[in-house]
Structure 1
């Protein structure tokens, strides 16, 4: 099993701003506010968190088990 990557770059679909964030290993981020335009990002249907929808790397639970954080 490969190591879990904890940094992911979230890209805002509204303005294109990209910000690298460190992901939690025990909780998902359901909301993320773009630091440039203020758009509140929410997971796309079928995704468990904003990292899975807008990040360069999926969240740690998906990387480890392939199942969503919330269940």
Structure 2
């Protein structure tokens, strides 16, 4: 089922605008991410389950599959 799921997403820091392609985990949500340029610790925005849903170009695998998200 993961064959149709995109695992690469570009995260963009809202503080400095730095962006980097990262591989999303398939077995858990990533709640925190540290920007490698300005070292801001990113957390999901209200209503989002993970940093990829808030700051990424591609939503996390559970959202792509139509589930409510990581539990």
Scaled to the shorter chain, the TM-score interval is: over 0.9
User: Is 1:9 the counterpart of 2:10 in the alignment?
Assistant: yes
Unaligned runs of 5+ in 1: none
User: Is 1:53 the counterpart of 2:54 in the alignment?
Assistant: yes
Matched residues in 1 for 2:34 and 2:18: separation?
A: 11
RMSD in angstroms over aligned alpha carbons? 1.4
Unaligned runs of 5+ in 2: none
Q: CA deviation at 1:61?
A: 0.4
Secondary structure at the residue paired with 1:10?
Answer: strand
Q: After TM superposition, where is structure 1 displaced by more than 3 Å over at least 4 residues in a row?
A: none
1:1-71 mapped onto 2 (5 Å cutoff): 3-70=4-71
Q: CA deviation at 1:66?
A: 3.5
Matched residues in 2 for 1:7 and 1:66: separation?
A: 19
